[in-house]
Structure 1
Amino acid sequence: MALQERYGTRPFGPDTTAGVGVQMVLLEVICRAVGLGPAGWLTGSAFAVATWAALTHALRRSWTRSFGPANRVTLARATLVGGVAALVADSFGGQAPVEALIGLATVALILDAVDGHVARRTETATPLGARFDMEVDAFLILVLCVYVATPLGPWVLCIGAMRYVFVAASWLLPWMRGPLPPSPARKTVAALQGIVLVVAGAGIVPRAAAFALVAAALALLTWSFGRDTGWLWRSRCREAAARGAGATAV
């Protein structure tokens, strides 16, 4: 009990709970500004509840002392992503308000550089924060892919699905769960996905150019995931060789 009091979290505290309320406020603002149908409300509300539940579970397991300023920035980004998801869901029933959708997505992408900076400046970087940031990024990319797939084709969904396929593969292949070395190239490729999808979704370039840009982004992402998978496989082989050499020496 003493350990829990010292290091325990407040999973039902004001930060995570307020996130649900702020999400509802944003949905109401969107509804009044550009309109939001039942599909949008349902999607946005479900995203808010799912985010709260996932954070609650993660905080209980992480023994994090406090939510931290960087996680608050990421939670703000998650709220914006919930708004994007609501607008994309609503777009299947009619014309989506492109300006609002792209505006929210752009701000969420810009803030992606802020939470990491805040974590480093305040020395509050944690594995939980890094994972939270990654999941928000991945879901935003997936949602944008769903939106862009309408004019360009379902193949665009491969971009949004790739990380989830990688994670699913790691459940079956434990060697894929190994840590990866830091890579500026990986970060650059990941950042490009959001930028390219926003440009394609905004309709500011001809369809042929948007097709080429998204195809190039998919090719870069495939290369990035392929390189990481290859590195993990070689690392597994090196570890197996080291264990074999150790057993032989004994």
Structure 2
Amino acid sequence: MTARESRGPIVGLAAHLILVTALAVTAGVSAAGWLAATAYAVVLAVVLGAGLRRSGMRALGPANAVTLGRATLVGGVTALVVTSFTAPVPLPVLVTLVGVALALDGVDGQVARRTGSTTKLGARFDMEIDAFLVLVLSVYVAGTFGWWTIAMGAFRYVFVAASWVWPWLSAALPPRFSRKVVAAVQGVALVVATASLLPDVVASVVLAAALATLTWSFGRDVQWLRHEESRRRLVVARARVARRHEDRRQEGRRPVVLLPDPRRSPAPVNA
């Protein structure tokens, strides 16, 4: 798993194919579920390989290897969720895959810090896997609690799409512990709903509360980014005004050259 970048994503893809094939044999994953999960794995391998090349990393590293293993489990979850659209799936298998994937979420960060291998690619990789797992689980519980639960998984992708229209949304955000807590709340709420650990009414309240915290977190980040964009524009406007004043001041210092009046005839020259 810590092989060169050309092999790391391929190893992850092979592990995914083994897992999904095993689920097809033991858990009854449908052809649609197998294809959807495999498409996810292929896209993941391509994007991860491109990210490794852009960042100049020659190996995945131990932390990214853990995240890739977690991403493989998410592929298994995807296969089961897509299968659930047409046939029941074994809930213990689904909950086990989700539980292990969420448990490993805290491991890759610890490994990165202890091995000194923290990278921007690793942080982005971890975040995108979290977001996709939340999306898949929100789709699964929508069959029981209503399609409004998909908003929990769609928030991240709507935010990214909005940043294409308003590029200031893609600016770096300050690290906040509350953001991590809100993300953890989404995972816990979705696992509780997936495993049917609570009555449906109580689980609906838990999901609604989790969605409310997510809305608050995204709203606060958008407000902060908008405020920073307003400050940036103000600084740029002030710099333009100052540059114009400086240009006018420099023009005032230039010597004035008086050109001859073409209406006056030249003075006669004595022969």
Same fold (TM over 0.5): yes
Matched, 1:12 2:6: yes
Matched, 1:193 2:210: no
> Which secondary structure does the structure 2 equivalent of 1:181 belong to?
coil
**Whole-angstrom distance in 2 between the partners of 1:89 and 1:163:** 21
Conservation of the 8 A alpha-carbon contact between 2:28 and 2:89: no
Partner of 2:175: 182
**Whole-angstrom distance in 2 between the partners of 1:11 and 1:123:** 19
Q: Choose 1 or 2 for highest CA Rg.
A: 2
> Which secondary structure does the structure 1 equivalent of 2:118 belong to?
coil
Shift of 1:116: 0.7
Partner of 2:115: 122
**Whole-angstrom distance in 2 between the partners of 1:206 and 1:231:** 38
Partner of 2:56: 63
**Whole-angstrom distance in 2 between the partners of 1:246 and 1:39:** 57
Amino acid at match of 2:193: A
Gaps of 5+ in 1: 1-8
> Which secondary structure does the structure 2 equivalent of 1:74 belong to?
helix
Amino acid at match of 1:163: R
> Which secondary structure does the structure 2 equivalent of 1:227 belong to?
helix
**Whole-angstrom distance in 1 between the partners of 2:38 and 2:232:** 46
Shift of 1:204: 1.2
Gaps of 5+ in 2: 244-271
Partner of 1:164: 157
Q: CA RMSD in A?
A: 1.3
| Bigger shift: residues 33-42 or 177-186 | 33-42
| Bigger shift: residues 51-60 or 82-91 | 51-60
**Whole-angstrom distance in 2 between the partners of 1:85 and 1:158:** 18
Size of the alignment, in residue pairs? 241
Match of 1:97 among 75, 90, 93: 90
Amino acid at match of 1:12: S
Partner of 2:76: 83
Conservation of the 8 A alpha-carbon contact between 2:189 and 2:207: yes
**Whole-angstrom distance in 2 between the partners of 1:56 and 1:132:** 11
Paired residues for 1:133-148 under 5 Å: 133-148=126-141
| Bigger shift: residues 160-169 or 28-37 | 28-37
**Whole-angstrom distance in 1 between the partners of 2:165 and 2:84:** 36
The structure where helix makes up a greater share of residues is: 1
Match of 1:31 among 2, 24, 41: 24
Residues 104-127 of structure 1 deviation map (CA, whole Å, 9 limit, x = unaligned): 011101100000111111111111
